[in-house]
Each structure stands twice: as structure tokens, then as C-alpha cells.
Amino acid sequence: MYLTDRDKALLDGIDGEASATAMAALVQLGEAFDAADMVDIGYAHVHPGMALYKGDVELIESLSASGANMRVPVSTNIINADVGNWMQTGAPKTLAALQKRSEAAHRKMGSSGCYTCTPYWAGHWPTWNMHIASIESGVTAFANSVLGARANRDGYFATYAGITGRYPRFGLHLDENRRPTHRIVVDAALDGTTDFTVLGYVIGERVRNGVPFISGLARRPTLDEMDALGVGQATSGGISMFIVPGVTPPYEATAVADAALDEIHVTLADIRDIYDRFSAGDPQDVDLIHLGCPHASYNEMRDYSQLLAGRKLREGIELWVTTSRVVRQMAAESGLLQPILASGAKIITDTCPMSCHFARTVSPDPKLGVEAPRLRTVMVDSAKQAHYVRSMIQCPTLLGTARDVVDFAVTGDYRPRF
């Protein structure tokens, strides 16, 4: 792999031990994937250090202590507790205290501490042709498909990219891998983010890996729907980029009309199958109702606020709305939080049901004393959350639109989507 003089100087330690370690690791990664050289990155969304994984907060602390300093704007991904208000989720104090240590370590490195899976709603909005690195597959999909930035589905090395400002040129950093591989023809009337997470889930299961070109949508999806479409595909498949013609830069509506691609039709029956699969829980057994996966945008907060305005949750109903600290602040200043809180719902930042201490597939240090409660059924408005509640919390779900989920929370009437 070709390295610039500056790359070599970083390897030699001109910028300290942390940069040298980071650069050495990025070179190994680049060589594994036959990268010709490295690119400058403009932004990184990185691993926060997660308290439910043994030694993981310590990993970030040791990186920070070794003198790491972020060279580009950096945001931090979702964590295992709402460290500002862990009590309202029933998290043990030990977990919140350990999780909070990761904040100090990141602050020292210069990361912006937004602790969210939707950093774009918190102002991190990379633009067309900018190379970036992201640890969160939903962020990768949004960056490639909505913003036209260039990102791989990355792991811990997004942190190394943030420290060095460099990343090996492979995968979706190359033009040749950003071309469509499958043509999806949507033959179903869809509306709202829940439907779009489901459409994404169907596409991810069929395509597995590739760049789907999605045609047949009745209108331009909203930003929230584009977000939902990406996270659905990244959940059921390894999809890191999709193309909606006329929306995804630089693809015009007529692009690839003639290209020979595998064609996949998605019908209302396919959409219904996913809703059915994720609605195996018993409405009588619902322990928790959740809105906001991925973390709600300002506009979704507005929707939730309007749906809950003037209404009260039934006795004993637990409803979480999850978002980022930044969006919560914007929503607070617009008066959107009061109707949500007055209904009896909780507003949680930093984490979500599958990412918090409810998860059963994690491996925390035993001395933290974390014990996942047994949940019977979780009701959600996102196919992504449904997928991970089943695999990580290991209980059944009910999947519905935000409107239907809120109606259930208030009236007790369960209304399936179909």
C-alpha cells in the first residue's frame, strides 16, 4: 500500500504513541483488503466504550490515556445506560457509573459526546463525496445513501480513523463498489417510518450484501423514512448503501434503467410477513412499549408529542421514547417534551431497550452486579428494534406504527398493522 510521507511519519510516532498504533492498525487493515492507499476522512462516528462488555470502557480509557486526540469531527455511538437519568430505566448504579467513565475519556480526546445511533439528527451531517468512518451500520447506510458521503460498515477502527484522519481506500470508498447490484421493484403502498423499516428488512433479507436500486416508491420518502429504510436493510442484511433514484446523490431518476440487474419484487404480502413475524407477542404480556429506533429525529419527537398530547397511559404501562441528548434539547425548547411526560411516558437518551441492561447476550464484569430482568413482550415501532429485542433481550415483540402503538398504550386496544 502506498503511504504518504505524513502517513509514514505518523507510523514513526511523530504525533505520539496513540497515532502510531492507530496508523499501524489501519495499514494492516488496508493490506488485508488490497487498498492502494489511504484517503483523508472528514468525520468519524466511533465506539463509545460500552459498560455491558467486559474491559470495553477500559479500552477507551487506555486509548485516551495514551494521548489520543481526534483530528476530525467525531461523534459517539449509543451506550448501555442513560447516564444522566439511569434510575428511570431501573439500571444498576454500578453500570451507570462505569458507563459515565467513558464520557470523560472521550471528552479528553475531543469527541463530541452525543451518544446516539443517529448523530446526523444531532448535527453531524457529512456531505457528498466526503470519506468518513462509522461504527454504526445505520449511520453508514444513511451517509452513503442519503448524503452521498463514503463509508464502510466499520468496527472499532473508526476510532483509529478519527485519531489519524486517514482510512484505507477499499469497499465503498471506491466508485466501482457504489454501483447498483440489484433492482428492487416495490409494489406496495407504504407510509411512515415503521413501514419503511419493514421494507428495508425485506430488502436486506433478499439481497444480503450488495447495493440495491429501489424503484416503485409512490413518492420521495421523507428523511425519516430514508433513515428507516437504511436501518432495516443494515439489520437483516449487510447492506451499507442503497440507491433511491432522484434522492441518492448522484443518481438521477433515469439511472441504471438499462443495466442488467437481478430484479426483486416486493409486494404487500412480503411487508405483511415481516409485521407478522415481529408480532408474535401477546398484547396481555406487554412489559414495555418503545418508540424511537433508531433514536428519534426532531420531527419524530414532534409526531410522538402530538400523538400523546392530552392523553394518559393506562395504569402500569411503561412507554419509552428514545432520542439523543441534542434532539431532546431541541424538543424541550419547542415545548414538545411536556405532552410526552404528562402522558406518563419516559424520555430516555443515550441508550434504548436492546442496548441497555435488558440485553442477555452481553458479558459484563460479574462485579457490576448487572442482572437482566425477564421481559415477556416488548412492543416497538421499528423492525430494527424488533429484530434485536428478539435476539438480544430474547423475548417476543409486537410491531406497529407509532400511532397504533400509542393507541394501545392509552386504550389497551391492540390493532395489528394488517
Partner 1 sequence: MGRSWTGRAIVRATASGPALLSGTTLSFLGDLDIRSGNVVEESSDLFGKSIAGSVLVVGSTKGSAGAWRFIYQLFQHGTHPVAMITEDLPDPSVVQGAIMCRIPIISGLAGQILAAGLPQETLLNVEGDTVSED
Helix, coil or strand: residue 64:
helix
Q: Please, which of residues 6-25 interact with partner 1 by CB under 8 A?
A: 25
Shortest CB 25 distance to partner 1, Å: 5
Q: Please, which of residues 199-258 interact with partner 1 by CB under 8 A?
A: 234, 238
| CB of 181 or CB of 329, closer to partner 1 | 181
**Given candidates 19, 75, 116, 137, which one binds partner 1 under the rule CB under 8 A?**
137
| CB of 334 or CB of 363, closer to partner 1 | 363
**Given candidates 6, 9, 42, 59, which one binds partner 1 under the rule CB under 8 A?**
59
Residue with cell 398530547: 309
167 touching partner 1, by CB under 8 A? no
Q: Are 61 and 16 in contact (CB under 8 A)?
A: no
Say which residues have a Cβ less than 8 Å from residue 28's Cβ, sequence separation at least 6.
Answer: none
Q: Which residues of 271-282 are buried (b: 16+ CB within 10 A; e: fewer)?
A: bebbbebbbebe
88: which DSSP letter?
G
| CB of 29 or CB of 202, closer to partner 1 | 29
154 touching partner 1, by CB under 8 A? yes
Element (H, E) at 264: strand 262-267
Cell, residue 195: 413501514
29 touching partner 1, by CB under 8 A? yes
**Given candidates 33, 259, 265, 412, which one binds partner 1 under the rule CB under 8 A?**
33
155 touching partner 1, by CB under 8 A? yes
156 touching partner 1, by CB under 8 A? yes
Q: Are 3 and 38 in contact (CB under 8 A)?
A: yes
352 touching partner 1, by CB under 8 A? no
Say which residues have a Cβ less than 8 Å from residue 410's Cβ, sequence separation at least 6.
Answer: 311, 312, 313, 314, 343
Q: Where are the alpha helices (DSSP H) in 143-283?
A: 157-164, 193-207, 223-236, 268-277
**Given candidates 119, 171, 232, 400, which one binds partner 1 under the rule CB under 8 A?**
171
**Given candidates 7, 15, 56, 82, which one binds partner 1 under the rule CB under 8 A?**
56
101 touching partner 1, by CB under 8 A? no
Stretch in the footprint of partner 1 (CB under 8 A) among 112-120, 146-154, 221-229, 335-343: 146-154
Shortest CB 281 distance to partner 1, Å: 21
Residue with cell 484505507: 168
Element (H, E) at 28: helix 17-32
**Given candidates 135, 190, 296, 399, which one binds partner 1 under the rule CB under 8 A?**
135
First to last CA, the chain: 54
Stretch in the footprint of partner 1 (CB under 8 A) among 88-96, 109-117, 135-143, 269-277: 135-143
- How many residues bind to partner 1 according to rule CB under 8 A? 28
Stretch in the footprint of partner 1 (CB under 8 A) among 54-62, 263-271, 281-289, 404-412: 54-62
Closest to 74 in 3D by CA, of 113, 37, 40, 35 = 113
Shortest CB 155 distance to partner 1, Å: 4
**Given candidates 71, 106, 131, 153, which one binds partner 1 under the rule CB under 8 A?**
153
Stretch in the footprint of partner 1 (CB under 8 A) among 36-44, 55-63, 173-181, 332-340: 55-63
φ, ψ for residue 397, nearest 5 deg: -125, 170
157 touching partner 1, by CB under 8 A? yes
| CB of 209 or CB of 338, closer to partner 1 | 209
Shortest CB 300 distance to partner 1, Å: 23
Q: How far apart are CA 364 and CA 211, in angstroms?
A: 36
Does residue 212 have a cis bond before it (omega within 30 degrees)? no
DSSP class per residue in 79-117: -SS-TTSGGGGT--HHHHHHHHHHHHHHHHHT-B----S
DSSP class per residue in 160-193: HHHHHSEEE--GGGSGGGSS--EEEEEES---SH
**Given candidates 363, 371, 374, 418, which one binds partner 1 under the rule CB under 8 A?**
363
Cell, residue 385: 428494534
10 Å Cβ neighbour count for 101?
A: 16
Stretch in the footprint of partner 1 (CB under 8 A) among 10-18, 134-142, 222-230, 253-261: 134-142
Closest to 195 in 3D by CA, of 151, 160, 228, 156 = 228
136 touching partner 1, by CB under 8 A? yes
Binding site for partner 1 (CB under 8 A): 25, 28-29, 32-33, 47, 50, 53-56, 59, 135-137, 140, 152-157, 171, 234, 238, 361, 363, 391
